[in-house]
Amino acid sequence: MHQDGLRLLILSKLADGRLPLSSIPRVWGGPGNGEICDACEIIVPKDEFVVGGISLAGGKRPLQLHVRCFRIWESERRPQLASHEWTTAPVIASGPEPVTR
């Protein structure tokens, strides 16, 4: 898959929750064994590396990604996470504005 198409697919999956915005505190890697990459949905063959880990979001099975897909996911999720935190942060009301005459 072309780099720009892969980036757009990963952004789409981040936006709709198919890929987590939260980090993976510990990752592991090794030769692929026919896993399906959670980002591009293409098989990771034995001659390529798969990167896996459990997201802090929890509740799902571990992510399994091609190395290239992992790098794109990692670079794209950070600005999305910052934007998401900004838009979902609680609004603190300070009370009514004082009236001045």
* pLDDT computed for residue 41 by the predictor: 97
Residue with tokens 């802090």, as numbered in its chain: 56
Strands 35-36 and 43-44 turn out to be antiparallel
Cα angle 57, 33, 17; round to 5: 25
Distance CA(74)–CA(51), nearest Å, equals: 12
DSSP character at residue 89:
S
25-56 burial code (b ≥16 CB/10 A, e <16) = eeeeeeebeeeebbbbeeebeeeeebbbbbbe
Position 25 pLDDT exceeds 60 = yes
Structure-token pair, residue 22:
């939260």
pLDDT tens for 57-69 read: 766 789 999 999 9
* pLDDT computed for residue 56 by the predictor: 76
**pLDDT cut 70: percent of the chain above it:** 76
Higher pLDDT, 12 or 85: 12
* pLDDT band, residue 29 (cuts 50/70/90): very high
Domains present along the chain, CATH in parentheses: 3-81 (3.30.1740)
pTM comes to 0.75
